[in-house]
Amino acid sequence: MCSARYGLRRAILNGAVAAGLLASPVIAEPVTIAALGDSLTQGFGLPPEDGLVPQLQRWLEANGAEVTLINAGVSGDTTAGGLARIDWTLTDEVDALIVALGGNDVLRGIAPEAVRANLDGILTKATARDLPVLLVGTEAPQNFGPDYKAAFDILFPDLAQTHDTLFHPNLLTLLLDIEDREAASRDFLQSDRLHPNTAGVALIVEGIGPLVLNLVALTKAE
């Protein structure tokens, strides 16, 4: 359970966002954000400078934020793996956390209640340190049936509300919104048709970047 004062800060931030006050924030002091994730965060198959964390770092700096992003992505990781390494990810210099896990859980058909428990454990560790968090969701395909999909899809917004975190529904939203799936796959995915290429990562950054700016602003409200 998050602290009352953290909830108040987030309410203030949400009001500022709604009023358009954080569209172009000017951040004077640097903050350190750990990005806890899987291969999408780690930058699988890409040159080091083209992965999600380096591209997001450049985007944030171009938009006035002085930020150090820590790449805590591990290819193939699940929410259980994230929970196992959260303690040593949250070093003393970390000021905020991005959590982008769950894709590998759904690929393996891991029970939604287990995923929920793992993510709850991660978020509990972060909020115990009063760290602002951006939780990134994911969606289950229809492969495991409608009951699995409904239980899986809802757990991310539920946890964001419970722990009073910022929330981004899906890293791949802008890719999935492209109607021409063949063109999207050709132009924005690597040859494995699973992982984004450099251009695909740029789309991901375009989608998540404004929320990370809000995370920076929330961190500055500490």
pLDDT at 11: 53
Structure tokens at 84: 């196992």
Among the listed residues 87, 92, 180, 192, the single catalytic one is: 192
Give the C-alpha separation, 58 to 71, whole Å.
14
Residue 191 annotated to the active site: no
Q: Give the CATH fold of the 4-21+31-220 domain.
A: Rossmann fold (3.40.50)
Residue 147 annotated to the active site: no
**Residue 86, Cβ density class (10 Å: 0-12 exposed, 13-18 middle, ≥19 buried):** buried
pLDDT band at 27 (very low <50, low <70, confident <90, very high): very low
What would the pLDDT profile of 174-187 be if each residue is shown by its tens digit?
A: 777 777 878 888 88
Q: Is 4 a residue whose pLDDT tops 70?
A: no
pLDDT at 96: 98
Among the listed residues 38, 39, 95, 105, the single catalytic one is: 39
What would the pLDDT profile of 137-153 be if each residue is shown by its tens digit?
A: 999 999 999 999 999 99
Give the start-to-end residue ranges of the domains of the chain. Answer: 4-21+31-220
pLDDT at 40: 94
Lowest mean pLDDT among 17-26, 42-51, 68-77, 135-144: 17-26
What would the pLDDT profile of 55-113 be if each residue is shown by its tens digit?
A: 999 999 999 999 999 999 999 999 999 999 999 999 999 999 999 999 999 999 999 99
Give the C-alpha separation, 171 to 41, whole Å.
10
pLDDT at 175: 76
Residue 163 annotated to the active site: no
